[in-house]
Chains A and B, each alone.
Chain A
Amino acid sequence: MKRLFDKDTWQEIFGSIQKNKVRTVITMIGVLWGIFIYITLAGSSKGLDNGFERAFQSIASNSIFVWAQYTSIPYAGYKSERAIQLKLGDAEIIKKRVKGIKFIAPRQVAGVFGSAGGNIVRGNKTGTYAIYGEFPEYIKIATAKIFDGGRFINNSDIEKERKVCVIGERTLAELFEKGEDPIGKFISINKLNFVVVGVHKFVQGGGFGDDGDIYIPFATFKKIFNTGDDVSFFMVSADENISGLEVEKNIKVTLKQIHKIHPDDDRAIGGFNLGEIFRKTMNFANGLTFLSLVVGIATILAGVIGIGNILLISVKERTKEIGIRRALGATPSEVRSQIILESVFLTILAGVIGIILGALVLYGINAATEDMTDFPYTNPTVPIPYVLGALALMITLGTLIGIIPAQKAVSVKPIDALREE
């Protein structure tokens, strides 16, 4: 141990390493490559992980869609194949009976599921877009964000049945001049004039919808389309600390009770759980991280074995040198520790260079993908414990692998070593 901190030991090692440059470089490439792959992979999978998280952060990751379909089991005097219609009043009952609901937003829609959309006219520009009847709760659950300067539907819009609307980015581009501020302008929906109060930016986050959707107050919707208290579907966000699956199940049970559906009828009420998809995606990302760790460590291992291999050859090459050293008074332990220290030193040096190169590549990828919002890749970093762990692994492996050539170096008798030509 004393030798480890002796300046002379290191000068001896540097000397031997420096004067065998080709050997040193070849030896290092293996480990350098290994740690480089490890860092790049680990960082990239972390970046992907962050990217997925970013993609999902715009939506409450615990959100659930629930809609009604046709019954498949006769129940309570009703026959099978009965169409179920969700009603506005269901929302209150669900909220009362199901625990863990943060927000519930009943929604009506025209323009998807085969129904006709709204005909929109502005001046001489026209288009057909999906029209949604909304409550203010929706924006707290959804992926859509409202651009600065505008607002979403509020409670007073509902109470007063105002003819206001929130249009999509695409709608804006198609109905308005470039650079024109749409807020306060009128557009005609099914021949009724609506004031634009906001523009939403749509972010893909599962479910349906697109950047052309137009949102109007629920109360206004039901008057225009004459849908009464009908609801197309409920969008629900569950409390973070509660299982989304549990909430979805309880909502379905409640809806089955309200609409007199057989408790075992799985077809009548449909559901889609974004939290579940989120969880699965994050599992996938975790799996990827794990995979990259395994691959990275295996590559480091291969690199370190390469170091051992080359040191073994180099020990053979240096048999005579080692013989001379021993004739001059080097003890076996001095020879051994020099070779092991060379191995460890080369491993660490190569490792550190590999880490730096890997970090540079990660930085490069990050810079190149920074503007690509569709590409799920953000802030690729390698956690410090991973880096330290890799270094510790390398030192351990470097020592262990160095023991083999070191042992070989001292196993040759000095007299035989000197005879070697």
Chain B
Amino acid sequence: MIKIKDLHKSYKMGSNSLHVLKGINFNVEEGELVAIMGSSGSGKSTLLNILGMLDLLDEGSYDLDGVPIKNLDETKAANYRNKFLGFVFQSFNLINYKTALENVTLPLYYQGVKRKEREEEALRYLDQVGLKEWATHLPSELSGGQKQRVAIARALVSKPKVLLADEPTGALDSKTSKEVMALIQDINKNGKTILIVTHEEDIAKMCSRIVRLKDGVIMEDKKNKMIKAI
């Protein structure tokens, strides 16, 4: 599903250049639930941003489901993001003046799906994350766990090839974290490829594969016996 070869990325900081990713080689098969681990500064978020086409790579190649991701301009990146990827963020990133339902319909709006279809589809996904009754509520009326589940529904609604989650449990307590992870495992069980960036060992253990990054290189890449979240 994902093929990364010799990936390099550095950031210019004034006259200095910060080499963040120093030759990453890594493939993800369809249906995997991968945890990318590493301390801060290890380059794990940069890697996820490049995978998410929110950032550009300097060297190397990136193939997503057989499509080479290169020569990205903003419009092309936006279209790829919309078609191929679903994002889940640590801080949920829901639009605060839109209801749960409206938030979930947004990716479909940018796909040009008709309003009625959009809402039916969004409601189906809200139901899947167990928040059908909360559809008309604003994010401010939802708990952290509920917000993250809305965000997950939003990430799934466009039927992406890969779900990218950046510290999805970072802002949640351990009980809610487990609930959210259980949902993610559930989605994975249905065949979705999922990448999770985390620095929490017990979250990583709930994944089928753990990739450890340190100082811009992969230190360890091993299969994991997935622990059920709940």
Task: State the A residues within 8 Å of B (CB).
Answer: 7-8, 11-12, 15-16, 19-20, 320-321, 323-334, 410, 413-415, 418, 421
A362 to B171, CA, bound (A): 59
CB distance from B74 to the nearest CB of A (A): 5
CA gap between A329 and B106 in the complex, in Å: 9
Q: Is the CB of A410 within 8 A of B54?
A: no
Expressed in whole angstroms, the minimum distance between the Cβ of B6 and any Cβ of chain A is 22
Q: Tell whether, in the assembled complex, residue A324 and residue B95 are in contact, meaning their CB atoms are under 8 Å apart.
A: yes
Q: Produce 1/0 per residue, B78-117, CB < 8 A to A.
A: 1101110001010101111110001000110111000100
Enumerate chain A residues within 8 angstroms of B87, measured Cβ to Cβ. 327-328
Taken residue by residue from 143 to 185, chain B's Cβ proximity to chain A (1 for < 8 Å, 0 otherwise) reads as: 0000000000010001000000000000000000000000000
Interface residue ranges, B against A (CB under 8 Å)? 49, 52, 54-55, 74-75, 78-79, 81-83, 87, 89, 91, 93-98, 102, 106-107, 109-111, 115, 154, 158
Q: A329-B79, A410-B74, A415-B54 are in contact. Are A334 and B115 (CB under 8 A)?
A: no
Out of A320, A321, A328, A418, which one reaches B154, CB within 8 Å?
A: A328
> Helix, strand, loop or mixed for chain B's interface?
helix
B residues near A12, Cβ cutoff 8 Å = 109
Assembly CA distance A333 to B52 (angstroms): 20
Residues of A within 8 A of B75 (CB): 331-333
* Residue in B74, B106, B115 whose CB lies within 8 Å of A328: B106
For A332, give its contact among B55, B78, B89 (CB under 8 Å). B78
B107 touches A328 (CB 8 A): yes
Contact assessment for A20 and B110 in the assembled complex, using a CB-CB cutoff below 8 Å: no
Q: Is there an interface contact between A20 and B89, defined as CB atoms closer than 8 Å?
A: no
Q: Are A327 and B95 in contact (CB under 8 A)?
A: no
Assembly CA distance A69 to B49 (angstroms)? 99
Interchain CB contact (< 8 A) of A321 among B55, B82, B95: B95
User: Roughly how many angstroms separate A324 CA and B81 CA in the complex, as a whole number?
Assistant: 12
Smallest CB-CB separation from B73: which chain A residue?
A332
Q: A11 to chain B: which residues have CB within 8 Å?
A: 115
Give 14 new A-B contacts, CB below 8 A, not counting A15-B98, A415-B55.
A8-B115, A15-B102, A321-B96, A324-B94, A327-B87, A328-B81, A328-B87, A328-B110, A329-B78, A329-B111, A331-B110, A334-B78, A410-B74, A413-B54
Chain B's closest residue to A12 (CB) is B109
Main secondary structure of the interface of A (DSSP, over half): helix
Q: Which 10 pairs between the two chains have the least Cβ-Cβ distance? A: A329-B82, A19-B97, A329-B110, A415-B54, A331-B78, A331-B75, A328-B107, A332-B74, A324-B93, A329-B81
- In angstroms, Cα B154 to Cα A333, docked, is 22
Complex contacts, A20 vs chain B, CB 8 Å: 97
A232 CA to B71 CA in the complex, in Å?
Answer: 97
A-B contact pairs, 29 of them (CB 8 A): A8-B109, A12-B109, A15-B98, A15-B102, A16-B97, A19-B97, A20-B97, A321-B96, A323-B93, A324-B93, A324-B94, A325-B95, A325-B106, A326-B74, A326-B78, A328-B82, A328-B154, A329-B79, A329-B81, A329-B111, A330-B78, A331-B78, A332-B75, A332-B78, A334-B78, A413-B54, A413-B55, A415-B54, A418-B89
| Cα of A325 to Cα of B78 in the assembled complex, Å | 9
B91: chain A residues within 8 A (beta carbon): 421
Shortest Cβ distance from residue A414 to the other chain B in the assembled complex, whole angstroms: 5
CB within 8 Å for A329 and B54 given contacts A415-B49, A418-B89: no
Distance between Cα atoms of A323 and B74 in the complex (Å): 12
B114 to chain A, nearest CB (A): 8
User: How distant is A150 from chain B, measured CB to nearest CB, in Å?
Assistant: 75
Q: Which residue on B lies nearest to A19, using beta carbons?
A: B97
A421 and chain B: residue at smallest CB distance: B91
CB distance from B12 to the nearest CB of A (A): 14
User: Which residue of chain A is the closest to B75 with respect to CB atoms?
Assistant: A331
Give min CB distance, B53 to chain A, whole Å. Answer: 9
